[in-house]
């Protein structure tokens, strides 16, 4: 569904250039639910914006659903945003119009369809996210979690193949966050929807099959869920935040095309390096990094 190859994004102002992505390599399979994590400024939201067609790459390659976003004309980009991707923001003020009901909010993206079809589709979507009983409520009458579920319904109004969620559980409590992730997983199963979630939520990242860490504008590591936990993902009885204390994923460092590897800072610190040089040696089937 997504192929990013040596992706670069540079933001320029009059006085400064900021390198937000520095050769990012990342693939996302069709029908996958995966999370992207990273510190503020790591480039994860920049990547999401480019996949969503909200920003243009500076260099490299970016294909989504077979479409080349790097060479896409403005007219084609509008069609892409209208038919391929749905977006859920962390800030509900960007998702919802406060003076409309939940039903009217979901109907709004379908403005050029007949009213009867819009209403029928909006009711179906609200039912999918478990909010058909709140269809006539306005923003102020909905909790944060309910607002986020309406936002998910809005993002699905154009029948997208790819759903992008930027910190979807950032402003809700743990129970609501779990419910929102259950909604995502059900949509993934029922619609074969590919879902990419940017998150700081460690509990949420335990509950997806793959977690990609972006550091300094590059993919630094991938974490793949252990088999025994993959089997338990659909078990709603498990409290992933409290009961599952051990690491649910195997972590792998990512080597880029020229052989570069980001070594976690906590591992480097154990060497007490006085400068930026290390010895690298091969020993049997291992590569050993030592202090000179």
Q: What's the predicted TM-score (pTM) here?
A: 0.84
Are the CB atoms for 220 and 42 separated by under 8 Å?
no
pLDDT per residue as tens digits for the range 173-228: 778 888 888 888 888 888 889 999 998 877 777 778 889 988 888 887 888 877 76
Residue 163 burial (CB count, 10 A): 23
Least Cα distance to 166 among 178, 147, 152, 179 occurs for: 152
- Copy the structure tokens of residue 60: 């490299």
- What is the Cβ-side half-sphere exposure of residue 31, based on CA atoms within 13 angstroms? 4
pLDDT per residue as tens digits for the range 110-146: 887 888 888 999 999 999 888 889 999 988 898 888 8
CA–CA dist 17, 180 (Å, integer)? 37
Angle, alpha carbons 195-196-198 (nearest 5°): 145
């Amino acid at each position: 569904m997504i192929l990013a190859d040596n992706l670069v994004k540079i933001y320029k102002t009059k006085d400064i250039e900021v390198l937000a992505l520095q050769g990012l390599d990342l693939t996302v399979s069709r029908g996958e639910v995966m999370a992207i994590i990273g510190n503020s400024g790591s480039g994860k939201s920049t990547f999401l914006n480019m996949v969503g067609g909200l920003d243009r790459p500076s260099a490299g390659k970016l294909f989504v659903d077979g479409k080349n976003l790097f060479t896409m004309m403005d007219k084609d980009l509008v069609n892409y945003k209208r038919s391929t991707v749905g977006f859920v923001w962390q800030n509900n003020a960007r998702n919802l119009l406060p003076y409309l009901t939940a039903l009217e909010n979901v109907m709004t993206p379908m403005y050029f369809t007949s009213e009867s079809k819009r209403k029928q589709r909006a009711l179906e979507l609200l039912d999918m996210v478990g909010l058909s009983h709140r269809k006539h409520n306005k923003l102020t009458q909905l909790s944060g979690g309910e607002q986020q579920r309406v936002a998910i319904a809005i993002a699905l109004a154009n029948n997208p193949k790819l759903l992008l969620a930027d910190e979807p559980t950032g402003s809700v409590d743990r129970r609501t966050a779990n419910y929102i992730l259950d909604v995502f997983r059900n949509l993934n199963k029922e619609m074969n929807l590919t879902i990419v979630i940017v998150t700081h939520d460690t509990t949420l990242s335990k509950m997806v099959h793959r977690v990609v860490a972006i550091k300094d504008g590059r993919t630094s590591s991938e974490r793949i869920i252990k088999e025994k936990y993959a089997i338990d993902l659909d078990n709603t009885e498990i409290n992933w935040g409290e009961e599952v204390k051990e690491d649910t994923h195997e972590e792998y460092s990512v080597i880029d095309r020229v052989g570069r590897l980001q070594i976690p800072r906590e591992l480097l610190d154990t060497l007490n390096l006085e400068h930026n040089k290390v010895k690298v040696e091969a020993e049997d089937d291992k590569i050993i990094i030592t202090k000179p």
